Amino acid sequence: MHRSIPAWITCGALLLALAGSSTAAEKVTILFVGAEAGPAWKGAEQGIIEANILGRFTGQGYELKRSSASAVPKGAAAVIVAAGGPAAAGISDRVDGAVVNVTDGSDSLRKRCRANLFHTIPSDRMRADALAQWRRNSESQNNHVRAWHPDFVKFAARDLNNRYRKTHGEAMDDEAWAAWAAVKTITEAVTRGQTTDPIAIARYLREELEFDGQKGAPHSFRDTGQLRQPLLIVEDGKLVAEAPVRGVADPDDLDTLGLAACP
């Protein structure tokens, strides 16, 4: 039976999927620590839905399963944490696989530099650096920095916003995007790395991943575990710019935002 290919699956992704279609069909469970009704859970759900659509072509399946922090087993394939930095740090100390923090922006958490601890939500310093860059161009103080915005339409962002709104009946926010990105990075590691081994998934994220977060530039993880990514400047409720801010910093140098490397 013919299966139609969703428009958001790129030719490159489809070719990769077809090339890997001979790998054993296996369901990967991604554990989720945090509130099941919040935006992070909904973002992770969106990622799982999209991963399973692509999985029709790869023979790979994914499920999202809620867990308490204390119940996460050492051999978990990957864990998404929306319950704060202490929970994320504690889990990363106990498990071998990737632990992805999607809600806590604290810089102290990044400075831990754990090999299996990752952060898709921007750090506090990333936001501060983006704001400082923008304020060299603007005298307004009524502005703030976002990882995501429902009015962002470039780089297939419109499509992602539409897919999320269709699924959940609300706009995608920062935490929803960060959790969606966490799922997508994990599932790309499984597909591209052709592995379900927890240690191998974490190693792929740290050493090889280049991820399309629908924000234009390739996203990758620093040795701090922080995901490099452009940020969005919102002023008086309107999306006005992207950071790194052109004319103040090199727009292609994502390391101008936040701690660039481990201390």
pLDDT at residue number 19 = 45
Q: What is the pLDDT of residue 10?
A: 53
Q: Are 232 and 145 in contact (CB under 8 A)?
A: yes
pLDDT of residue 227: 98
Spatial CA neighbour of 64 closest among 26, 29, 33 = 29
Backbone phi, psi, residue 241, to 5°: -165, 170
Domain count, the chain: 1
The predicted pLDDT at position 138 comes to 87
- What is the per-residue burial (b if ≥16 Cβ within 10 Å, else e) of 41-64? bbbbbbbbbbbbebbebbebebeb
Does residue 39 sit within a domain?
yes
Higher pLDDT, 2 or 250: 250
* Distance from C-alpha of 199 to C-alpha of 215, rounded to nearest angstrom: 28
With respect to residue 206, please indicate whether it lies within any of the assigned structural domains.
yes
Whether pTM > 0.85 for this model: the answer is: yes
Closest CA to 38 of 162, 161, 176, 171: 176
CATH number of the domain to which 115 belongs: 3.40.50.2300
Residue 147 lies in a domain: no
Q: Please report the pLDDT score of residue 2 as a whole number.
A: 39
- Please tell me the predicted confidence (pLDDT) of residue 109: 97
| Confidence bin at 18 (pLDDT 50/70/90) | very low
CA distance 239 to 232: 7
Residue 263 is assigned to a structural domain of this protein: no
pLDDT digits (tens, 9 = 90+) for 212-253: 999 999 999 999 999 999 999 999 889 999 999 999 999 999
**Residue 1: predicted pLDDT:** 39
- pLDDT surpassing 90 at residue 55: no
Q: Please indicate, yes or no, if residue 60 is contained in any of the structural domains.
A: yes
Quote the pLDDT of residue 7: 53
- pLDDT surpassing 60 at residue 50: yes
| pLDDT band, residue 25 (cuts 50/70/90) | low
- Residues 178-190 have a mean pLDDT of 97
Residue 172 lies in a domain: yes
List CB contacts of 161: < 8 A, sequence separation 6 or more: 150, 152, 153, 171, 172
Least confident window among 129-143, 153-167, 239-253: 129-143
Percent of the chain as helix, strand, coil, to the nearest 5: 40, 20, 45
Q: What's the pLDDT at 8?
A: 55
- Domain of residue 56 covers 25-121+156-229
Spatial CB neighbours of 99, under 8 Å, sequence gap ≥ 6: 78, 79, 81, 88, 91, 92, 114, 116, 117, 118
CA dihedral sign of residues 17, 23, 24, 28:
negative
Q: Is residue 95 part of a domain?
A: yes
Which ranges constitute the DSSP H helices of 59-156?
85-94, 107-110, 124-135
Measured between alpha carbons, how far is 214 from 154 in angstroms, rounded to an integer?
8
Q: If you average pLDDT over residues 59-86, what whole number do you get?
A: 96
Please state the φ and ψ torsions of residue 121, each to the nearest 5 degrees: -75, 140
CA distances from residue 34 to 37, 48, 70, 82, 171 in whole angstroms, order as listed? 9, 16, 12, 5, 20
One-letter amino acid for residue 228 of the chain: R
Which of these, 217, 237, 233, 228, lies nearest to 260 by C-alpha position? 228
pLDDT average, residue stretch 180-184: 98
Give me the mean pLDDT over the 78-107 stretch.
97
In a domain, 37, yes or no: yes
